[in-house]
């Protein structure tokens, strides 16, 4: 009997969550992930795993969920449908390291189905991506992260990396600040069956990207996690974290979808860092490493050429 795509992908993200959390615990060496199982009123639930106050990771979450039910009215208007039901599952992670020389990372891989009242699938698609948010720019780290992303994409179609890299630069853009959240990576959404790709082909691509995550991120962590840092560098990290919070609360579609579908608040806001600053009219010194980062964030560039 053929396994339904939603069951196949949910099993995949369950296993991926185990792989990622065990790997990050080994790197941290002190803290372990706390697991929290929860149920969603209206249908479904999830498995939240959070690490806090570690030797390397100040706060991080690796969450999976599978929720279903009647599509809320606000989302029906967004999708232009009426009387629709939905199923959505995915893995979402954000890792905030303690050391300002280690970048924050975010990743998400998800699958969505929409049904009519007879239970027939009327639409389905994959989405996701992974992106890097450094506080100090090490160009070799950005190049490594993007090269791993490109390698995963190129196994499926060579146009994917430049397309999804550009989409990432556009999506993770704090328009009210006129700057990017980080140095980007991949962002893709509404990956539906078409003339070139079946839904199974999209599954193969999305899982390829998911499987590449640890290779993209953990070498950077291991290279930078013992770098000495000053209180001034830590303050800069907290100021930049404020921009991360601004994006998540103002622009992020996943956060807004979770809030509009009455998702679990603790899991939705898990992405927010524990220590943040908003300093009035802050500008880094001319010629400083901090200004170097801002120049790149204001003018996204290629990292693989």
Give the C-alpha distances (Å, rounded to integers) separating 61 from 97, 117, 136, 192.
12, 35, 22, 28
Query: Over the chain, what is the mean pLDDT?
Result: 94
Per-residue burial over 47-80, b = 16 or more CB atoms within 10 Å of its CB, e = otherwise: bbbbbeebebbbbbbbbbbbbbbbbbeebbeeee
Q: What is the pLDDT of residues 275-291, one digit of tens each?
A: 999 999 999 999 999 99
Listed in sequence order, the DSSP H helices in 128-193 are 139-154, 160-171
- pLDDT at position 259, please? 79
Listed in sequence order, the DSSP H helices in the chain are 5-28, 73-79, 139-154, 160-171, 199-224, 231-250, 253-260, 265-268, 289-298
Percent of the chain at pLDDT exceeding 90: 83
CB 85 within 8 A of CB 182: no
The closest alpha carbon to 126, from 219, 182, 185, 210, belongs to: 210
- pLDDT at position 1, please? 54
Which range (11-15, 172-176, 232-236, 258-262) has the least confidence? 258-262
Query: Any long-range contacts for 40-45 (C-beta under 8 Å, 24+ apart)?
Result: 40/65, 40/67, 40/69, 40/262, 40/263, 40/264, 41/262, 42/67, 42/69, 42/70, 42/262, 43/67, 43/68, 43/69, 44/68, 44/69, 44/87
State whether CATH 3.40.1500.10 applies to domain 5-298: yes
Task: Please give the model's pTM, rounded to 2 decimal places.
Answer: 0.95
31 pLDDT above the threshold of 60: yes
Mean per-residue pLDDT, 216-223 = 98
Which range (70-84, 140-154, 213-227, 280-294) has the least confidence? 70-84
Residue 106 appears among annotated catalytic residues: yes
74 pLDDT above the threshold of 80: no
CB 108 within 8 A of CB 129: yes
Choose, from 106, 144, 282, 299, the residue flagged as catalytic. 106
262 pLDDT above the threshold of 80: no
């Amino acid at each position: 009997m053929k396994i339904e795509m939603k069951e196949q992908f949910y099993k995949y993200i369950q296993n991926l969550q185990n792989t990622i959390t065990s790997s990050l615990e080994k790197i941290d060496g002190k803290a372990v992930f706390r697991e929290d199982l929860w149920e969603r009123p209206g249908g479904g639930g999830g498995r939240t795993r959070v690490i806090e106050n570690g030797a390397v990771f100040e706060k991080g979450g690796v969450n999976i969920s599978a929720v279903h039910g009647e599509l809320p009215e606000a989302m029906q208007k967004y999708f232009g449908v009426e009387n629709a039901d939905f199923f959505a599952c995915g893995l979402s992670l954000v890792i905030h390291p303690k050391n300002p020389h280690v970048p924050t990372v975010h990743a998400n891989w998800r699958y969505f189905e929409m049904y009519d009242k007879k239970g027939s699938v009327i639409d389905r698609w994959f989405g996701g991506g992974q992106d890097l948010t450094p506080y100090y720019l090490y160009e070799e780290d950005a190049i490594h992260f993007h090269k791993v992303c490109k390698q995963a994409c190129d196994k499926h179609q060579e146009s994917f990396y430049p397309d999804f890299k550009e989409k990432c630069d556009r999506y993770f853009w704090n328009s009210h600040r006129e700057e990017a959240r980080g140095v980007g990576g991949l962002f893709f959404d509404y990956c539906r069956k078409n003339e070139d790709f079946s839904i199974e082909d999209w599954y193969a691509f999305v899982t390829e990207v998911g499987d590449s995550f640890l290779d993209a991120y953990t070498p950077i962590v291991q290279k930078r996690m013992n770098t000495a840092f000053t209180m001034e560098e830590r303050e800069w990290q907290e100021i930049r974290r404020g921009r991360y919070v601004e994006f998540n609360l103002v622009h992020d579609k996943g956060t807004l979808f979770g809030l509009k579908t009455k998702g679990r608040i603790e899991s939705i806001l898990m992405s927010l860092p524990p220590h943040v600053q908003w300093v009035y009219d802050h500008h880094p010194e001319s010629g400083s490493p901090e200004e170097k980062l801002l120049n790149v964030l204001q003018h996204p560039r290629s990292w693989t050429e």
